[in-house]
Amino acid sequence: MRNYIHLFLLLLLGSSSITAQTTALSFNGQALHLGDSLTIGLPYTPGESYRTMGWAQKDLIIPAFTRGKLMRHITPPKTFFGDIIGDPDTIYFLSLPQYPKDSLIVHLSDAIRMGEIITAPIEHEVLYPGAIELSPADYVPALIKAGYMTYTDAAIKAYTQASGNIDSVRSIIDNPFGYQRQRAALLERLKEAVGRFRLDQVYYVRHKLFTKEYDFARSAYPWDRLCGMPLPTLSTPGNEAITLVLMAEKEVPRISVPADRAESYEKRSRTLGLGAHTLYIKAYFRLLPPEHTIDEDTRIYQPRIDYLGLDLYEYPHCSYYHLGSARAE
């Protein structure tokens, strides 16, 4: 987005297509008006920048979950934007009270479709409110605490890379002499992390889930087992990675979703009536101990889990636009 902000400024200075509009604007089933107050959401992809908006005058931080007023619009020429963001569309501006002299440029149709502008309620009840996300820094401590690993050099190096800055840690890991000098301190840090890890805690991981078309008889989206796995494969970052393949005896064959909620999702995502959908889940579980002796001469582990269920969302961050919940069976 930043690469073509200046093109927007040229359009603003030279375009005569800036007009006032008071009639209703329709976006994927959502009616809006100029002057409406809209809420900024999260970037579509966690950890990345916003795909559908940016600042017109300076590089400011886009404040998530704040509200701004929908302002004037322009229609950019196809020659400027056709190759960058697809077909040319009307570009809107969001005025935020904390930035009175700056305009936030919004490609509104895509922003609504991708949830970077929120137009529906976001409050929802989750299946396990006290669950904690299992982060990459937790993978090795979890394996050791549950009995799948011991304090090997592979475990120390994988945890060190997962819990620190990859570039700075690599200088330690790649130098065998430097690693040996710091091994005792790195081992102590790992032991402290293992000590903090709780096996009685409910954890969750986020995952992309493919479903079939909406089942009106069951008021649910069925999981499409031919298109993807029900649980993610987890790996620590870096060149000393440890991989976890979660093993569960239970599954979630379908997720109950009210028909009106499913319809609003399919309208917003432009997937109305399609036979397949790409959605996102928080998968909840507890870690179980191994049933057999574990071979540590590997970097791939298959920890057993008690799979408890999931919450289904429209977007990868799994923070709002909740569709439904289901317990594993």
> CA 86: distance to chain centroid?
23
The pLDDT tens digits of the residues spanning 294-319 come to 777 788 999 999 999 999 999 999 99
Lowest-confidence region among 19-23, 42-46, 116-120, 278-282: 19-23
Gap between the Cα atoms of 115 and 119, Å rounded: 8
Gap between the Cα atoms of 329 and 325, Å rounded: 13
Gap between the Cα atoms of 285 and 282, Å rounded: 10
CB count within 10 Å of CB 303 equals 23
Strand segments, DSSP code E, in 188-318 are: 203-212, 220-222, 233-235, 243-245, 247-248, 254-256, 276-287, 300-301, 304-313
Residues linked to residue 325 through DSSP beta bridges, in sequence order: 311
In the predicted structure, residue 150 carries a pLDDT above the cut 60: yes
Residue 101 Cα distances to 22, 56, 61, 227, 267, angstroms: 23, 10, 14, 48, 35
Whether residue 309 contacts residue 282, with contact meaning beta carbons closer than 8 Å, is answered with no
Q: Which two tokens stand for residue 43?
A: 């970037």
Q: How big is the chain by its Cα radius of gyration, in Å? A: 24
* Mean pLDDT, the chain, whole residue set: 86
The pLDDT tens digits of the residues spanning 96-146 come to 988 887 889 998 889 999 999 999 999 999 999 999 999 999 999 999 999
What was the pLDDT predicted at 11? 44
Predicted structure pTM score: 0.86
